[in-house]
């Protein structure tokens, strides 16, 4: 049975890394001792070691050990033997490129469908969808495929932002971009606002956090899904 936490972000305004979701993480990982961390999404300015240390600091509060996937000689074997996996945020194009380059996309998907706990934030949340095509990131590299884990039957748009009627910005809104996506693609898109996450248990997907999510389906009017509700798309 699939077990996932799919979070829009690692940090919300006014809190420390993973603090806002700490209670949910403690319950989700209660039977886990060591978590394999995927640091591939960070394009620069921070090493994989430093990024893993940030993740470790976040999980120390709930008594968990974090080990970076980059430290293993064989990343495929590391995924295949992992108790649980956490994928952090950054650039989704880079993350997906590295997952394919290191040949871990397929084994990670297999482990998730076998029931291994998976937690993803931002880019790490984006890859749980059918494709990465609703990311907000710039295409700084060209991945072999836009196809991702398909752990949920829709796409994710992390960090979803509502249109600001007082803004002087005249460019496309996030909603406009997703509507553009739907002129060509059919899968639904879940817009996750900051501080919101999806809890997946098997085929049941429940929105958690204080804010509603924005649901987009092709040829339908977007609608709000309240926290505590099941996602049915």
Which residues are catalytically annotated? Answer: 122, 137, 159
146: left (phi over 0), alpha (psi -120 to 50) or beta: alpha
Please, which residues have CB within 8 angstroms of residue 170's CB and are 6 or more apart in sequence?
none
Q: For the chain, how big is the Rg over CA atoms in Å?
A: 17
CB contact at 8 A, 52 and 106: no
Residues listed for the chain: 233
Residue at token pair 């029931």: 115
Q: Which two tokens stand for residue 176?
A: 């406009």
Q: How far is CA 132 from CA 18, 93, 95, 123, in A?
A: 23, 8, 10, 9
d(CA 96, CA 144): 8
- Inter-CA distances, 193 with 8, 130, 138, 175, Å: 6, 19, 20, 13
Structure token pair of residue 181: 């996506």
């Amino acid at each position: 049975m699939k077990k996932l936490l799919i979070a829009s972000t690692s940090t919300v305004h006014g809190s420390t890394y993973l603090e806002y979701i700490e209670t949910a993480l403690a319950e989700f990982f209660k039977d886990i001792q060591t978590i394999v961390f995927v640091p591939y999404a960070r394009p620069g300015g921070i090493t994989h070691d430093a990024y893993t240390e940030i993740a470790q600091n976040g999980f120390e509060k709930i008594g968990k050990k974090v080990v970076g996937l980059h430290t293993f000689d064989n990343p495929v074997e590391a995924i295949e033997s992992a108790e649980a996996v956490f994928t952090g945020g950054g650039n989704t194009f880079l993350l997906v490129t590295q997952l394919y380059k290191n040949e871990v996309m397929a084994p990670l998907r297999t482990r998730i469908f076998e029931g291994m706990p998976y937690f993803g934030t931002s880019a790490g949340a984006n890859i749980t969808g059918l494709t990465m095509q609703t990311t907000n990131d710039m295409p700084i590299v060209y991945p072999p495929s836009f196809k991702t884990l398909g752990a949920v039957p829709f796409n994710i748009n992390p960090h979803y932002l509502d249109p600001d009627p007082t803004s002087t910005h005249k460019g496309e809104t996030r909603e406009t971009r997703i509507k553009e996506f739907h002129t060509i693609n059919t899968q639904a898109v879940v817009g996750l606002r900051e501080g919101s996450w999806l809890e997946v248990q098997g085929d049941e997907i429940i929105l958690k956090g204080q804010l509603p999510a924005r649901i987009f389906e092709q040829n339908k009017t977007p609608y709000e899904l309240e926290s505590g509700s099941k996602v049915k798309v």
